[in-house]
Structure 1
């Protein structure tokens, strides 16, 4: 099956065309100010080498930083309404209490706290105040807001209140875009509410982004389904991704990690992805990125949901160096490296200039960095080495040396030998590992919730059923779905043999259009 994988980063746009596991063509070039035109150009480059009459492309997988950038930049966000169902217990800390002021101002929220929710043991806290929900919905409608996030106390245990509240809101605002917290987050009211409201603020951008990508593919002459990559190293049908853009926050680094696994055949290793602006260090477990089990901040907002365990560092090919203080970063020239770096005739000293001066890579005009003092170059490379060693040490879970796979356009910055690493691996196509990871990705389904009133076996079976259904909805072929991992934790203080069950499944993409129609029919 022919697939195109594209990763749109802040510095570079990478694209590959593969057939099965064979790489047919690959391209890397600076991200343009017009991102969609850059996607069109990338597709044009990778398909140009195909002979006339070649088999058509079966699918396109795209990784994008659109949604993360929107949160970080406090731009392109919808005005939102937050409904918290947790009164009277949840009144002390209002919604978005821990958000940065400028981000809260950007979404200009309407907030409502209504009576309802459940206790930790599944009992109703108080009955859901339906009139309060309806009153909130009418105020939201009158304000012209159609992005709504609904969060109820202990909804991962039972989602009754959120589901009923959503029905009431839709009866008042039929076209409302509603995000329910139990579909995204885990137990922990504030963090779960935060990711719910971020998702609500991004759904409008999600729809616009998907439509723009569709237009870009049409302009490039590609008639194939397309997918967006997700935080866990898998993909999801673009139309499904539009409803849950938060699942694509960390898709860039996870694409690179999946690409590293594909290029090396390793399932257990550490990966460092060196881009133009930052580096991300992560770990492969079973061929997929290790998942974070703690709070992850996104744009200054605390969240607790499906995110990879990554350590970002301000080190990339475009990182700016102060020649006087010898400070490396955190600022970067980004996609303007071909204008600003010394080797390209610019006036800014970057890590790429240092690497060229040291003979680590041939980029640009080496004569333009011959004036750099050798002692300065050596000292800066030692500083880079120390930064990488510190990152590896912080991500390790044991004192033993680990295999480190260096990928990304700036992988030339990673030394051949590092303390804490048993081996530094470099592979062909490492510079476009992110696009390869996108192209090779499978489709996942996950459930993480509390089940009670049933045996352990039935709880796990029900969790697997839900996870498989979510994978099919995301675009997986039902016959190929396998369980990746299962975890269940008994909760002693809850009645009814309660336990938290987490199941993740993966499956191959349902490429055939008739199969996709069959899947869609089964979901109705």
Structure 2
């Protein structure tokens, strides 16, 4: 029996979908409009590719979804959970309150129940003070029935998780199993405020993730498909539905990372710069050994600074629907606003009244789309200057992402990639692979399953080499449990950070392993 897989990526403008065979060859692809309820757009795209490929539904065994649900909810301040924010860190952290520096409208949404409890640890693992369990019980009783999600952050919990774990047990005891609990040690790294923000945001979008998962699963069921379901995550690998609902914040950048992974697969390049041109923005990222390069800086999401693992990306306001404004004096501006999904009704080539970047490339004869006669009257010399400005925006972004002056391969993907020429400054070659318009959906479908382990080891007891090997084995086990084929596993990331102030020559080791999906994995199916 053949085994097929579906890959879907939900963007702000389009929902892209592909159906792949066992050799990861594209059997059918489509771009459907993203709908307000999202699930309808997913269903429409899925139905179209299945009908077009005409494969037996019982042979579709894997379904992968990359989605912007959680990002959009944070940015729009909509559909967020009712949360309690608990920081374990008094008296050491009373000077700086939780949600400091977060935009006011987001603070109003998430800051109704905020508490600071005595407890936390020093950087060497010693307790600052004992955990105030009585206060935690009191808080739990106070918020019972008022909230459905809890964000718990303790000082230096990446060194010692003991207080966060105990607080979690208390809230679970009082509030029951239906209230989601997010622990900062499982989400961010050292750096209290950024880790706390990441944990708060994670707690706020649990329901959004559940809705997205249910919508995807129901869309599959309505098509008569019984498949194993996975979500894309920020590092370009997959995670199970249960994991996605527990850590929804890990999905916020999966759209761009899916595009990078898809670009690597379609071009057969493991190291390159990828420019993903959508309807509103272009994301520029770097492939390192076929995976997105990770950011070493704090990343802002919806105006809140966070410090969990995110891809290193530059987003610029240039897409297929970007609005071009020309003054009476002949000067012009490029965006950053866009007509987005309304391109087929607003742009000049489709009979609309708004000059867009797509109109510019059609008027200059660089793309065939719509009705070119609608833009034939435009000043070609001025449009050439506009086009040069558009290309320059991308070339500057590419230059910022390079680590040396040497030219590097550049891969163009996304539906808006028709905007860009076959040569770019700083590029050794410009590649526009087949199926590049749905690279994000392909990246979702071909992604590997990963497992990650992060632990503190005392090297005086075990030794560095033995500690790293142990961490590798544990990461591989995590990946296998998540659905990876053990024969295909590779270690894709190792981080070894000595903790000089801990006794016994301690070090924190983080290892990630990734492998292909196992066809016979006994994961929970829908």
| TM-score, scaled to structure 2 | 0.94
Q: What whole-Å deviation, never above 9, does each CA across 1:72-101 have from its counterpart, x for those lacking one?
A: 101110121111111111111111111100
Is 2:424 the counterpart of 1:404? no
Matches of 1:424 and 1:26, distance apart in 2: 23
- 2:499 aligns with 491
1:121 to 124, 136, 142: 124
Shift, 1:459, TM fit: 3.0
Contact 1:9 1:31 in 2 (8 A): yes
Tell me which moved more, 17-26 or 280-289: 17-26
Is 2:358 the counterpart of 1:352? yes
Matches of 1:115 and 1:461, distance apart in 2: 38
Matches of 2:295 and 2:175, distance apart in 1: 36
Shift, 1:51, TM fit: 4.0
Contact 2:99 2:111 in 1 (8 A): no
Structure 2 CA distance for partners of 1:407 and 1:491, relative to 1, 3 Å: same
- 2:321 aligns with 318
- 1:380 aligns with 386
Structure 2 CA distance for partners of 1:116 and 1:469, relative to 1, 3 Å: farther
1:436 to 436, 442, 445: 442
- 1:298 aligns with 301
Tell me which moved more, 20-29 or 160-169: 20-29
Contact 1:229 1:255 in 2 (8 A): yes
Matches of 1:237 and 1:402, distance apart in 2: 35
Partner SS for 2:400: helix
Contact 1:275 1:316 in 2 (8 A): yes
- 1:425 aligns with 431
Is 2:18 the counterpart of 1:16? yes
2:516 to 508, 511, 521: 508
- 1:43 aligns with 46
RMSD: 1.8
2:252 to 229, 249, 253: 249
Partner SS for 2:273: strand
- 1:394 aligns with 400
Contact 2:32 2:44 in 1 (8 A): no
Tell me which moved more, 126-135 or 450-459: 450-459
Contact 2:275 2:283 in 1 (8 A): yes
Q: What whole-Å deviation, never above 9, does each CA across 1:22-79 have from its counterpart, x for those lacking one?
A: 1111112332334211111111111113346576211111111110000110111012
Q: Which consecutive unaligned segments of at least 5 residues does structure 1 have? A: 520-524
- 1:230 aligns with 233
User: Size of the alignment, in residue pairs?
Assistant: 516
Partner SS for 1:58: strand
Contact 1:271 1:281 in 2 (8 A): yes
Partner SS for 1:516: coil
Contact 2:19 2:53 in 1 (8 A): no
Q: What whole-Å deviation, never above 9, does each CA across 1:319-346 have from its counterpart, x for those lacking one?
A: 1111224111111111111111111111
Matches of 1:75 and 1:444, distance apart in 2: 31
- 2:452 aligns with 446
Is 2:471 the counterpart of 1:463? yes
Shift, 1:107, TM fit: 2.3
Q: What whole-Å deviation, never above 9, does each CA across 1:167-221 have from its counterpart, x for those lacking one?
A: 0111111132100111110001111111001000111111122112211222233
Matches of 2:56 and 2:515, distance apart in 1: 30
Contact 1:389 1:418 in 2 (8 A): yes
Matches of 1:55 and 1:65, distance apart in 2: 28
Contact 1:354 1:377 in 2 (8 A): yes
Q: What whole-Å deviation, never above 9, does each CA across 1:147-181 have from its counterpart, x for those lacking one?
A: 00111111111111111110011111113210011
| TM-score, scaled to structure 1 | 0.95
- 2:170 aligns with 168
Matches of 1:386 and 1:251, distance apart in 2: 27
- 2:274 aligns with 271
Shift, 1:448, TM fit: 4.0
- 1:522 aligns with none
